[in-house]
Structure 1
Amino acid sequence: MRICTVTVRAGSKGVPGKNLRVVAGRPLFGHSVAQAAASGLFDEIVVSSDSEAILALAPSFGATRVVVRPPEMATDTAGKVPAIAHAVRATEERTGKTFGVCVDLDATSPLRTVDDIRGAVAMFESADVDSLITGAEARRNPYFNLVEEQPDGTVAVSKAPDDAVLRRQDAPRCFDMNGSIYVWKRESLLDGQVVFFPSTILYEMPAERSTDVDSEFDFAVVEWLMNQRSDL
């Protein structure tokens, strides 16, 4: 069985109230919930939040359950993974179901498509791994043109290659995590409560579907891109 969570905090420093701001006809968080529902993959779609308004709206976009996010998991410094694990455990306790595959869709990454969700889950389920993340090929490569400041103020390539890399195309491929889709084995999520394991794999997405809303500029970019799309 599969469960999808969308964990949505009420607060945000970068873009106040961003999860309830309307973009392309829905509150920002509503797109992730609707995409989960449209994928047809999940036995439960759960929205976890400390916001009464978000919890009240969630079923209208396809959530099958809502979970109140504990205050200590909704602070500016709280990690997201414990809130995901809490939502999964709470749903299992309420339903008596056990979910072997746990998926989280980030509420601030609405540019993914339903096919991205299906592709990521299919890739995960075809591999014997603990977790999967999504990302886009990085514009800067730490072996070639991403530099790191040294203690004396000089800079050097972040990852010194064994042999000189004269072209970016010759450097190992690197990716920017886009925070869009996370997939775990149940035990790995609940016991480890981390994203990365030795077996973690990546599902690649294009840059145009990889912007995460963390600033007003990001919101403007996402709004413009979503208004160009016909699959919403």
Structure 2
Amino acid sequence: MSAFTHKNLAIIPARSGSKRLPKKNTKNLNGKPLIKWTIDLAKQVNEIDLTAITSDSSEILTMASQENCITIQRPDYLASDTASTFDTLLHTIEHLANTGIYPENILLLQPTSPLRSKEDIENSLSLLDEKEADSIISVCPSDHPPFWSNTLKSDLSMDSFLENDIPNQSKKYYRLNGAIYLTKTSLLIKNKGFFMPNSFAYIMPQERSIDIDTSLDFEFCDFMLKRRQN
């Protein structure tokens, strides 16, 4: 890879389709499209040098262009439900390299996490340096310990639903919240993702960790934003 032209590149992936909540990225959330919450936040973080939007939607790309973001037309094979996030990021990195842009770090900001704060992003970037980490991944406390969950049989039998020996319930469990993924560009390509040796968690509170996937998530997030404003 050539010498770095920028320190931190934020990539916001936004497909037009969504089975569970159609066109959610452009759906109005408390006064503006869902994706614009993440675009506006990225613009507030001084450490972010460039913000790129990758999408198959002309509406989203036009909006992003008006916000002075780099826009990348995503090919159809990367706009399906089965397309991987890594392949989308790799396509973005290669596209930018062809235009002479070589970022040192990649910050993935999914638009479905509009409650993350400016401080969350800044603290994640600081943690990458403080820990001399290869990647930072955001998590939040889990609502329920994992051993209270299981699959169900077709007859709905609860036999063996819980393990005989319940683990120590005093332990604190965390889950991925989808808000922040950060790593060095070269390591993202090498490891084909953000999980790798020398990765560290950035812990966020549950109230900033809503990941919008359903209409219920959307309505709850709208409520939280209104409460924050009040």
Shorter-normalised TM-score: what interval? Answer: 0.7 to 0.9
Displacement of 1:43 in angstroms is: 1.7
The one-letter code of the counterpart of 1:50 is: D
**Counterpart in the other structure of 1:66:** 71
Identity %: 26
Residue pair 1:34, 1:62 contacting (<8 A) in 2 also: no
Cα shift readout 1:14-50 (whole Å, capped 9, x = no counterpart): 1001100111221101111110111111221000000
Change (3 A) 1:157 1:70: farther
Q: CA offset at residue 157 of structure 1?
A: 4.1
- Residue from 100, 122, 126 that aligns with 1:122: 126
Q: 1:230 to 1:138 in 2, by over 3 A?
A: same
The 2-side partners of 1:150 and 1:229 are apart by: 38
Q: Is the 8 A contact 1:3 1:88 kept in 2?
A: no
Out of 217-226 and 79-88, give the one that drifted further.
79-88
Residue in 2 that maps onto 1:80 = 85
User: Paired residue for 2:44?
Assistant: 38
What secondary structure is seen at the aligned counterpart in 2 of 1:228?
helix
Distance 1:109 1:157, change over 3 A: farther
In structure 1, runs of 5+ residues without a counterpart are none
- Measured against aligned partners, the alpha-carbon deviations of 1:86-119 in whole angstroms (never above 9, x if no partner) come to 212212321x232111101011110001111111
Aligned partner of 2:212: which letter? V
Gaps of 5+ in 2: 1-6
Q: RMSD across aligned C-alpha pairs, in angstroms?
A: 2.2
Residues matched between the structures, number: 220
Take 1:157 and 1:110, find their aligned partners in 2: how far apart are those partners? 37
Query: Are 1:99 and 2:103 counterparts?
Result: yes
Residue 8 (1) aligns with residue 7 (2):
no
Q: Distance between the aligned counterparts of 2:18 and 2:149, measured in 1? A: 30
CA distance in 1, matches of 2:16, 2:163: 39
Distance in 1, matches of 2:206 and 2:46, equals 25
Deviation at 1:62, TM superposition (A): 4.7
Cα distance in 2 for partners of 1:12, 1:51 equals 12
Q: Secondary structure at the match of 2:18?
A: coil
Aligned to 1:197: 196
Kindly provide the CA deviation profile for residues 119-171 of structure 1, in whole angstroms up to 9, marking residues without a partner as x.
111111222322211111111123xx52435999412349x67xx52xx3x22
